Amino acid sequence: MGPDRLDWFALLLAVVPLAFSFAVFRVFRIGLAKELAVSVIRMSVQLFLVGLYLTFLFRWDNPLISVGYILFMVAAANYSVLKNTGLSGKMYGATYPPLAFSILVVLGWYTVLVFTPTPIYSAKYLIPVAGMLLGNSMRRTIITLERFYSSIRDDEEGFASLILYGATVREAAYPYFRQAYRVGVAPALAGMATIGLVSLPGMMTGQILGGADPIVAVQYQAVIMLAIFVTTELATLLSVQMSYRRGFGPTGFFRREIMKAR
């Protein structure tokens, strides 16, 4: 038995506490009241539309439509990756395939071999799990790519000197990659190490509120955390590998045109 549907009055009461945030923005002259209002409205409209679409998507339960929707989600996520890393649209073809490949491969593995829903292509499993994998992969890819390319751009002379001294692009880029990778993976490791002690994850909490046995909720959450970590690893590594081949010229020097103007 699932949780009761919230009525409109309950949803209105959920919005009322935001008055505190608006008051803080006004008192301290933060200047983000308009942005907060727009974000809340966009979130509400987007979630409502997604809810309507998913209702039909689950009803159709067509694997081709489900995969198509996942690829559309990847496209939207990839746009966010480019926007937040400062990379230009020229890099779209280098960052989209790693995200799509990692999501589909890991999703297929855990769906077929671990979750084993009936039918195996059940949209109720594919879409929510893909969303969790993609959201986390997007965030980590943004952190890693942004740090990787911004550190090279800020230290372009140092990078160029390594090339002039005979280093290959891979050898010259390795220190920057290692630093960026450590920055990207640190939050994931910290989150995995403290899950259950510091916070209860959203999926686990949702299952418990929906009436699931806590042990079952824990099992699913543990599997999802592992799937998320593997997906983010694969997406991050492939994104750096595929993008840096476009980021450096034949002589090994950094192509500044792949970055948006500051």
- The mean pLDDT values, 10 residues at a time, for the chain of 262 residues are 76 93 91 92 91 89 93 94 90 94 96 92 92 94 94 88 87 92 90 77 76 86 92 93 82 78 60
In our burial notation (b when 16+ CB lie closer than 10 A, e otherwise), range 88-118 reads eeebeebbbebbbebbbebbeebbeeebeee
Q: At what angle do helices 63-85 and 33-60 cross, to 10 degrees?
A: 160
pTM: 0.85
> Which of 208, 209, 232 shows the shortest CA–CA distance to 220?
208
Radius of gyration of the chain (CA): 21
